[in-house]
Amino acid sequence: MSHEFAPFGQGRHLLSVLQFDRENLRALFELADAVDPIAKRQAVCTVLDGAMLGSLFFEPSTRTRLSFESAFLRLGGEVTTTTGFTFSSMAKGESIADTSRVVSGYSDVLVVRHPDEGSVGEFAAASVVPVINAGDGTGEHPSQALLDLYTLEKELTARGKTVDGCRIAILGDLKFGRTVHSLMKLMSLHDGLDFTLFSPPGLELPPGVKEYVEARGHAVHVVTSVAEAVRGVDVIYATRVQRERMATDLAQANAHGDLLNRAILADAGNLDAIIMHPLPRDSRPDSYDLSDDVDDLPGLAIFHQTDNGLNVRMAIFLTALGVSLEAVHLTTKQRPWKATLR
């Protein structure tokens, strides 16, 4: 395989947000904008006709897997998928390297989620096609950070603001929440950011992420209450307690009430803030997550994130496979059926 084509900064795989600079980030976001009619099903595209996505999810996922697969299908490609260890040969002791070499031989690109940090890099090392990291344990989740930042930029622009200089509160499980680790690093490409962090005891942000952000000139304040965190910020990014990744006593200690709800926002005088969450939101009682009583607030952006995820993942595939926008236009036609509801 040629090593000269390096669409994500370093090599053909997308493993980490650290592969981005402002230039290749802008190029990806422009592509995500350009494919919007295809993402919204106003147009039908066949540019990936004949291409095969190998979708390997060894950890639970709904939206990440479905949105990667939908993105590939909307570009005219085909998808083969395997979920969990039980139904794969890894249950028979097959190594990551062997699995990756075999499946990459059947595919043009792989999307991989795995519970161990660094494991998707191991898949990439043995793969003969580009590998996209869809989450490696508590490590990275670059496509989520890209769609989060893409959404954040649009929400801020609609309010006459920019990502540069934005004030963001990040709440919840900052230790195990990989989306936060990736988002904070990716946002650091911008200028003059002000992060306010709140996490329950035992779930603090890993020091390395805080140091990374501070070394790039951004302010990081750690506070001890949600009310304090959300006062005066432009954006609030709430996260779920990742109970499956922690000991039972820590999980139980963080099972009470809401992390964020309407009353807290009203008390803080910030009912207009942009509200984001990577989802899934844990809606069980006492889950200590974002309450659904914020759902009719004007700044709720959680479903804009999920919708935008399609555009961003389409752009990731086009970039990974070296497909030009011209080729996309040449293979796109108006849809012949009636409009969906939006």
Among 123, 119, 121, 122, CA closest to 104: 123
If binding is defined by CB under 6 A, does position 14 make contact with ligand NCD? no
Phi, psi of 226 (to 5 degrees): -65, -40
If binding is defined by CB under 6 A, does position 13 make contact with ligand NCD? no
CB of 14 or CB of 268, closer to ligand NCD: 14
CB 142 within 8 A of CB 16: yes
Which span (71-79, 204-212, 225-233, 273-281) binds ligand NCD, by CB under 6 A?
273-281
Q: Peptide bond preceding 60: is omega within 30 degrees of 0, i.e. cis?
A: no
If binding is defined by CB under 6 A, does position 279 make contact with ligand NCD? yes
Tokens 């949105």 correspond to 67
* Neighbouring residues of 247: CB distance < 8 A, sequence distance ≥ 6: none
Chosen residue from 41, 63, 167, 216 binding ligand NCD by CB under 6 A: 63
**Structure tokens, 240:** 């779920």
Closest distance between ligand NCD and the C-beta of residue 278, in Å? 4
Chosen residue from 16, 144, 188, 319 binding ligand NCD by CB under 6 A: 144
CB of 279 or CB of 316, closer to ligand NCD: 279
Strand partners, 315: none
CB of 14 or CB of 51, closer to ligand NCD: 14
Strand partners, 109: 53
Closest distance between ligand NCD and the C-beta of residue 1, in Å? 29
Closest distance between ligand NCD and the C-beta of residue 93, in Å? 26
Binding to ligand NCD (CB under 6 A) within 282-311 occurs at: none
CB of 51 or CB of 111, closer to ligand NCD: 111
CB of 9 or CB of 115, closer to ligand NCD: 115
Which span (33-41, 153-161, 162-170, 278-286) binds ligand NCD, by CB under 6 A?
278-286
If binding is defined by CB under 6 A, does position 278 make contact with ligand NCD? yes
Rounded-to-integer distance, Cα 19 and Cα 140, Å: 12
Closest distance between ligand NCD and the C-beta of residue 191, in Å? 27
Phi, psi of 235 (to 5 degrees): -135, 145
CB of 151 or CB of 179, closer to ligand NCD: 179
Which span (79-87, 215-223, 262-270, 272-280) binds ligand NCD, by CB under 6 A?
272-280
The contact pattern for ligand NCD, residues 212-251, with x = CB under 6 A and - = no contact, is: ----------------------------x-x---------
Binding to ligand NCD (CB under 6 A) within 171-190 occurs at: 178-179
Phi, psi of 314 (to 5 degrees): -65, -45
Please work out the total of residues on this chain that contact ligand NCD, with binding judged by CB under 6 A: 12
Other Cβ atoms closer than 10 A to 312: 26
The tally of CA atoms less than 13 A away on the side-chain side of residue 64 is 28
Dump the DSSP string for 196-259: EEE--TT-PPPHHHHHHHHHTT-EEEE-S-HHHHHTT-SEEEE----GGGS-HHHHHHT-SS-S
If binding is defined by CB under 6 A, does position 64 make contact with ligand NCD? yes
Closest distance between ligand NCD and the C-beta of residue 219, in Å? 25
Amino acid at 42: Q
**Structure tokens, 112:** 């991989």
SS3 125: helix
Amino acid at 250: L
Closest distance between ligand NCD and the C-beta of residue 59, in Å? 7
Closest distance between ligand NCD and the C-beta of residue 331, in Å? 29
**Sheet-wide strand order for 219-222:** 219-222, 194-198, 167-171, 235-238, 274-276
| CA-to-CA dists, residue 145 to 16, 94, 137, 148, angstroms | 10, 31, 15, 5
Which residues of this protein are in contact with ligand NCD, per CB under 6 A? 63-64, 135, 141, 144, 178-179, 240, 242, 278-280
